[in-house]
A and B are shown apart, each in its own frame.
Chain A
Amino acid sequence: MKKVGILRFWGTNCDRDIWQAAEVCGFKPEWLWQDDSFEAKDYAYFVVPGGFSYGDYLRCGSLAAQTPAMKSLREASNKGFPIIGICNGFQILCEAKLLPGVLVRNESQRFIDDWAELKVENKSPFTQSVGQRIRLPIAHGEGRFFAGDDELKKLEDNGQIWMRYMDNPNGSLKDIAGVMNDQKNVCGLMPHPERALLEWMGGVDGHPFFLEAAR
Protein backbone atom coordinates (compact mmCIF):
# COMPACT_ATOMS: atom_id res chain seq x y z
CA MET A 1 0.00 0.00 0.00
CA LYS A 2 1.36 3.42 -0.96
CA LYS A 3 2.20 5.76 1.88
CA VAL A 4 1.23 9.38 2.37
CA GLY A 5 3.76 11.49 4.28
CA ILE A 6 2.18 14.01 6.65
CA LEU A 7 4.54 16.66 8.02
CA ARG A 8 4.05 17.78 11.60
CA PHE A 9 5.53 20.74 13.44
CA TRP A 10 5.00 22.26 16.86
CA GLY A 11 1.51 23.74 16.52
CA THR A 12 0.25 21.78 13.52
CA ASN A 13 -3.40 20.96 14.20
CA CYS A 14 -5.01 19.67 11.00
CA ASP A 15 -2.79 16.59 10.91
CA ARG A 16 -5.39 14.07 12.16
CA ASP A 17 -7.85 15.23 9.50
CA ILE A 18 -5.27 14.57 6.81
CA TRP A 19 -4.55 11.15 8.33
CA GLN A 20 -8.26 10.26 8.06
CA ALA A 21 -8.45 11.62 4.51
CA ALA A 22 -5.47 9.52 3.40
CA GLU A 23 -6.95 6.39 5.03
CA VAL A 24 -10.39 6.98 3.51
CA CYS A 25 -8.64 7.19 0.13
CA GLY A 26 -6.83 3.87 0.59
CA PHE A 27 -3.36 5.08 1.53
CA LYS A 28 -1.19 4.29 4.52
CA PRO A 29 -0.57 7.61 6.29
CA GLU A 30 2.68 8.22 8.11
CA TRP A 31 3.80 11.06 10.38
CA LEU A 32 6.95 12.96 9.46
CA TRP A 33 8.13 15.02 12.44
CA GLN A 34 9.76 18.42 11.96
CA ASP A 35 13.17 17.16 13.12
CA ASP A 36 13.10 14.02 10.93
CA SER A 37 14.84 13.52 7.63
CA PHE A 38 13.21 11.16 5.15
CA GLU A 39 13.60 9.55 1.75
CA ALA A 40 10.89 10.46 -0.73
CA LYS A 41 10.78 7.24 -2.69
CA ASP A 42 8.26 5.31 -0.58
CA TYR A 43 5.55 7.95 -0.70
CA ALA A 44 2.71 8.63 -3.13
CA TYR A 45 2.50 12.25 -2.06
CA PHE A 46 3.21 14.59 0.84
CA VAL A 47 0.92 16.88 2.81
CA VAL A 48 1.90 19.93 4.84
CA PRO A 49 -1.23 20.37 6.98
CA GLY A 50 -2.76 23.48 8.49
CA GLY A 51 -2.45 24.83 12.00
CA PHE A 52 -0.23 27.35 13.72
CA SER A 53 3.27 25.97 13.27
CA TYR A 54 5.72 27.44 15.78
CA GLY A 55 2.80 29.49 17.15
CA ASP A 56 2.87 31.67 14.01
CA TYR A 57 5.89 33.36 15.64
CA LEU A 58 7.95 35.80 13.54
CA ARG A 59 5.86 35.25 10.37
CA CYS A 60 3.37 32.47 9.64
CA GLY A 61 5.32 29.43 8.46
CA SER A 62 8.74 31.10 8.60
CA LEU A 63 10.27 28.98 11.36
CA ALA A 64 8.74 25.67 10.23
CA ALA A 65 10.20 26.41 6.79
CA GLN A 66 13.74 26.00 8.19
CA THR A 67 13.34 22.52 9.74
CA PRO A 68 15.11 19.28 8.71
CA ALA A 69 11.79 17.82 7.51
CA MET A 70 11.42 20.73 5.10
CA LYS A 71 14.93 20.06 3.79
CA SER A 72 13.86 16.52 2.96
CA LEU A 73 10.64 17.86 1.43
CA ARG A 74 12.68 20.17 -0.80
CA GLU A 75 14.57 17.11 -2.09
CA ALA A 76 11.25 15.34 -2.72
CA SER A 77 10.07 18.42 -4.61
CA ASN A 78 13.19 18.42 -6.77
CA LYS A 79 12.46 14.78 -7.66
CA GLY A 80 8.95 15.75 -8.77
CA PHE A 81 6.93 14.19 -5.97
CA PRO A 82 3.45 15.73 -5.50
CA ILE A 83 3.30 18.01 -2.46
CA ILE A 84 0.25 19.84 -1.15
CA GLY A 85 0.31 22.55 1.50
CA ILE A 86 -3.00 23.50 3.08
CA CYS A 87 -3.58 26.78 4.93
CA ASN A 88 -0.58 27.09 7.30
CA GLY A 89 1.03 24.40 5.11
CA PHE A 90 0.67 26.81 2.16
CA GLN A 91 2.31 29.56 4.24
CA ILE A 92 5.18 27.20 5.12
CA LEU A 93 5.75 26.26 1.46
CA CYS A 94 5.86 29.96 0.51
CA GLU A 95 8.30 30.79 3.32
CA ALA A 96 10.45 27.82 2.22
CA LYS A 97 10.35 29.31 -1.31
CA LEU A 98 8.95 26.05 -2.68
CA LEU A 99 6.04 28.24 -3.78
CA PRO A 100 6.04 31.86 -4.96
CA GLY A 101 4.57 34.75 -2.98
CA VAL A 102 3.57 35.09 0.63
CA LEU A 103 0.37 35.10 2.72
CA VAL A 104 -0.30 38.22 4.79
CA ARG A 105 -3.07 39.30 7.17
CA ASN A 106 -6.60 39.40 5.78
CA GLU A 107 -7.62 42.83 4.56
CA SER A 108 -10.50 42.85 7.06
CA GLN A 109 -8.04 42.07 9.89
CA ARG A 110 -10.49 39.35 10.96
CA PHE A 111 -10.10 35.60 11.16
CA ILE A 112 -12.50 34.13 8.59
CA ASP A 113 -14.27 30.79 9.12
CA ASP A 114 -16.66 30.08 6.24
CA TRP A 115 -17.22 28.17 3.01
CA ALA A 116 -15.73 29.56 -0.18
CA GLU A 117 -16.73 29.09 -3.82
CA LEU A 118 -13.64 28.49 -5.91
CA LYS A 119 -12.74 28.39 -9.55
CA VAL A 120 -10.06 25.84 -10.42
CA GLU A 121 -7.93 27.58 -13.03
CA ASN A 122 -5.27 25.02 -13.90
CA LYS A 123 -4.80 21.27 -13.60
CA SER A 124 -2.63 19.90 -10.81
CA PRO A 125 -1.70 16.42 -9.53
CA PHE A 126 -4.30 16.91 -6.78
CA THR A 127 -7.24 18.08 -8.88
CA GLN A 128 -7.13 15.95 -12.02
CA SER A 129 -10.82 15.05 -11.85
CA VAL A 130 -12.08 18.00 -9.83
CA GLY A 131 -14.67 20.20 -11.52
CA GLN A 132 -14.04 23.81 -12.48
CA ARG A 133 -16.21 25.13 -9.66
CA ILE A 134 -15.79 23.73 -6.17
CA ARG A 135 -16.80 24.66 -2.64
CA LEU A 136 -14.41 24.24 0.28
CA PRO A 137 -14.18 25.52 3.87
CA ILE A 138 -11.78 28.33 4.72
CA ALA A 139 -10.44 29.21 8.18
CA HIS A 140 -7.59 31.71 8.33
CA GLY A 141 -6.42 35.07 9.63
CA GLU A 142 -3.50 35.45 7.24
CA GLY A 143 -4.64 34.22 3.86
CA ARG A 144 -4.20 37.25 1.68
CA PHE A 145 -1.92 36.18 -1.16
CA PHE A 146 0.69 38.78 -2.02
CA ALA A 147 3.38 38.89 -4.70
CA GLY A 148 5.02 41.57 -6.81
CA ASP A 149 3.52 42.59 -10.16
CA ASP A 150 6.20 40.76 -12.16
CA GLU A 151 5.67 37.59 -10.16
CA LEU A 152 1.88 37.79 -10.57
CA LYS A 153 2.25 38.16 -14.32
CA LYS A 154 4.59 35.18 -14.42
CA LEU A 155 2.09 33.09 -12.45
CA GLU A 156 -0.65 34.00 -14.92
CA ASP A 157 1.52 33.34 -17.98
CA ASN A 158 2.82 29.99 -16.71
CA GLY A 159 -0.57 28.68 -15.59
CA GLN A 160 0.62 28.54 -11.98
CA ILE A 161 -2.56 30.01 -10.51
CA TRP A 162 -4.24 26.92 -9.14
CA MET A 163 -7.53 28.37 -7.96
CA ARG A 164 -9.28 31.67 -7.31
CA TYR A 165 -12.05 32.79 -4.98
CA MET A 166 -15.34 33.59 -6.70
CA ASP A 167 -16.01 36.14 -3.94
CA ASN A 168 -12.66 37.27 -2.53
CA PRO A 169 -12.89 36.95 1.28
CA ASN A 170 -9.46 38.24 2.35
CA GLY A 171 -8.13 40.75 -0.19
CA SER A 172 -5.90 38.24 -1.99
CA LEU A 173 -4.28 39.75 -5.06
CA LYS A 174 -5.98 38.52 -8.26
CA ASP A 175 -8.45 36.62 -6.02
CA ILE A 176 -5.80 33.91 -5.63
CA ALA A 177 -6.71 31.03 -3.30
CA GLY A 178 -4.02 28.59 -4.43
CA VAL A 179 -0.84 28.50 -6.52
CA MET A 180 1.63 25.95 -7.90
CA ASN A 181 5.38 25.97 -8.52
CA ASP A 182 6.59 26.12 -12.10
CA GLN A 183 6.95 22.32 -12.24
CA LYS A 184 3.31 22.03 -11.02
CA ASN A 185 4.16 19.32 -8.49
CA VAL A 186 4.07 21.61 -5.45
CA CYS A 187 0.62 23.03 -4.76
CA GLY A 188 -0.62 25.29 -1.98
CA LEU A 189 -4.08 26.55 -1.09
CA MET A 190 -5.72 28.36 1.80
CA PRO A 191 -9.04 26.40 1.73
CA HIS A 192 -9.28 23.04 3.50
CA PRO A 193 -10.11 20.10 1.16
CA GLU A 194 -9.76 17.68 4.10
CA ARG A 195 -12.78 19.34 5.71
CA ALA A 196 -14.99 18.53 2.71
CA LEU A 197 -14.43 14.81 2.38
CA LEU A 198 -17.78 13.17 3.16
CA GLU A 199 -21.41 14.26 2.84
CA TRP A 200 -21.93 14.85 6.57
CA MET A 201 -19.16 17.44 6.51
CA GLY A 202 -21.30 19.62 4.26
CA GLY A 203 -19.56 18.87 0.97
CA VAL A 204 -17.39 16.31 -0.81
CA ASP A 205 -15.37 18.49 -3.19
CA GLY A 206 -12.19 17.88 -1.21
CA HIS A 207 -12.28 14.11 -1.60
CA PRO A 208 -10.50 13.84 -4.98
CA PHE A 209 -7.54 15.86 -3.68
CA PHE A 210 -6.40 12.90 -1.60
CA LEU A 211 -7.22 10.17 -4.13
CA GLU A 212 -5.36 11.26 -7.16
CA ALA A 213 -1.89 12.49 -6.50
CA ALA A 214 -0.26 9.04 -6.48
CA ARG A 215 2.39 8.87 -9.18
Chain B
Amino acid sequence: MIKVGVKILPRLEVLDTQGRAVEKTLEQHGRKVDQARVGKYVELQVNENSEAGALKKAQEIAEFVLYNPLIETFELEIVKA
Protein backbone atom coordinates (compact mmCIF):
# COMPACT_ATOMS: atom_id res chain seq x y z
CA MET B 1 0.00 0.00 0.00
CA ILE B 2 1.28 3.41 -0.95
CA LYS B 3 -0.34 6.72 -0.08
CA VAL B 4 -0.36 9.52 -2.62
CA GLY B 5 -1.37 13.05 -1.69
CA VAL B 6 -3.13 15.14 -4.31
CA LYS B 7 -2.73 18.86 -3.62
CA ILE B 8 -5.27 20.93 -5.53
CA LEU B 9 -5.10 24.74 -5.72
CA PRO B 10 -7.16 27.33 -7.60
CA ARG B 11 -5.39 28.75 -10.64
CA LEU B 12 -3.86 32.18 -10.11
CA GLU B 13 -6.10 33.77 -12.75
CA VAL B 14 -9.23 32.51 -10.99
CA LEU B 15 -10.61 34.68 -8.22
CA ASP B 16 -10.08 32.64 -5.04
CA THR B 17 -12.89 33.91 -2.85
CA GLN B 18 -11.94 31.66 0.08
CA GLY B 19 -8.33 32.82 -0.09
CA ARG B 20 -9.48 36.42 -0.18
CA ALA B 21 -11.64 35.92 2.92
CA VAL B 22 -8.72 34.34 4.77
CA GLU B 23 -6.40 37.21 3.75
CA LYS B 24 -8.89 39.73 5.07
CA THR B 25 -9.26 38.03 8.45
CA LEU B 26 -5.48 37.68 8.84
CA GLU B 27 -5.04 41.37 8.08
CA GLN B 28 -7.74 42.35 10.58
CA HIS B 29 -5.82 40.46 13.25
CA GLY B 30 -2.37 41.87 12.57
CA ARG B 31 -1.14 38.87 10.60
CA LYS B 32 -1.08 40.32 7.10
CA VAL B 33 0.24 38.05 4.36
CA ASP B 34 0.88 38.87 0.73
CA GLN B 35 -1.45 36.14 -0.44
CA ALA B 36 -3.51 33.21 0.87
CA ARG B 37 -4.92 30.57 -1.42
CA VAL B 38 -7.29 27.86 -0.32
CA GLY B 39 -7.41 24.50 -2.06
CA LYS B 40 -7.97 20.89 -1.14
CA TYR B 41 -5.88 17.90 -0.26
CA VAL B 42 -6.94 14.37 -1.18
CA GLU B 43 -5.04 11.38 0.19
CA LEU B 44 -5.32 8.23 -1.91
CA GLN B 45 -4.24 4.85 -0.64
CA VAL B 46 -3.53 2.79 -3.74
CA ASN B 47 -2.78 -0.88 -4.18
CA GLU B 48 0.49 -0.55 -6.08
CA ASN B 49 3.93 -1.96 -5.45
CA SER B 50 6.05 0.89 -6.75
CA GLU B 51 5.97 4.61 -6.14
CA ALA B 52 6.03 5.18 -9.88
CA GLY B 53 2.96 2.96 -10.32
CA ALA B 54 1.18 4.70 -7.45
CA LEU B 55 1.89 8.14 -8.92
CA LYS B 56 0.67 7.04 -12.33
CA LYS B 57 -2.58 5.75 -10.89
CA ALA B 58 -3.09 8.91 -8.81
CA GLN B 59 -2.41 11.07 -11.88
CA GLU B 60 -5.15 9.24 -13.79
CA ILE B 61 -7.59 9.61 -10.88
CA ALA B 62 -6.82 13.31 -10.45
CA GLU B 63 -7.43 13.94 -14.15
CA PHE B 64 -10.60 11.82 -14.10
CA VAL B 65 -12.44 13.74 -11.41
CA LEU B 66 -10.36 15.30 -8.62
CA TYR B 67 -9.48 18.55 -10.34
CA ASN B 68 -10.98 20.76 -13.02
CA PRO B 69 -8.24 22.07 -15.32
CA LEU B 70 -10.24 25.22 -16.11
CA ILE B 71 -9.91 26.51 -12.56
CA GLU B 72 -7.40 24.35 -10.71
CA THR B 73 -3.92 22.85 -10.79
CA PHE B 74 -2.71 19.81 -8.90
CA GLU B 75 0.50 18.28 -7.63
CA LEU B 76 1.16 14.74 -6.44
CA GLU B 77 3.37 13.64 -3.57
CA ILE B 78 4.18 10.32 -1.98
CA VAL B 79 3.00 10.37 1.64
CA LYS B 80 5.66 8.81 3.87
CA ALA B 81 4.35 6.69 6.73
Show the binding face of A for B, using Cβ within 8 Å: 58-59, 62-63, 65-66, 95, 101-102, 104-107, 109, 144, 146-148, 171
Q: A102 touching B15 by the CB < 8 A rule? A: no
> B residues near A, CB below 8 A?
14-15, 17-18, 20-21, 40, 64-66, 68, 70-71
Contact A107 B70 (CB under 8 A): no
Q: How far is the CB of A203 from chain B (nearest CB, A)?
A: 30
Interface of A is mostly: loop
* Distance A105 CA – B68 CA, assembled complex (angstroms): 14
Q: Are A66 and B65 interface neighbours, CB within 8 A? A: yes
A171, B71: Cα distance in complex, Å: 15
Complex-state Cα separation, A142 to B71, whole angstroms: 13
- Out of B20, B21, B65, which one reaches A62, CB within 8 Å? B65
A102 close to B71 (CB less than 8 A): yes
CB of B18 within 8 A of CB of A105, answer: yes
Contact between chains at A107 and B15 (CB < 8 Å): yes
Closest CB in chain B relative to A145 CB, distance in Å: 11
- Min CB–CB distance B44 → chain A (angstroms): 13
Q: Nearest 6 CB-CB pairs, A to B?
A: A105-B17, A109-B17, A102-B70, A102-B71, A102-B68, A66-B65
Among A66, A144, A147, point to the contact of B70 (Cβ < 8 A): A147
Separation in Å of the B20 CB from the closest CB of chain A? 8
Report whether B65 and A63 are in contact in the complex, using a CB–CB cutoff of 8 Å: yes
State in angstroms the CA–CA spacing of A66 and B65 once bound together. 8
Q: Which of A58, A109, A146 contacts B71 (CB 8 A)?
A: A146
Contact assessment for B70 and A146 in the assembled complex, using a CB-CB cutoff below 8 Å: yes
Note all chain B residues with C-beta closer than 8 A to A107: 15, 17
Q: From residue B54, how far is it (CB to closest CB) to chain A in Å?
A: 21
Q: State the Cβ distance, A185 to closest chain B Cβ, in Å.
A: 22
Query: Which residues of B lie under 8 Å from residue A104 when comparing CB positions?
Result: 14-15, 17, 71
| A106 CA / B21 CA spacing, docked (Å) | 13
CB neighbours (8 Å) of B15 from chain A are 104, 107, 144, 171
Closest to A63 in B: B65
Residues of A close to B21: CB separation below 8 A: 109
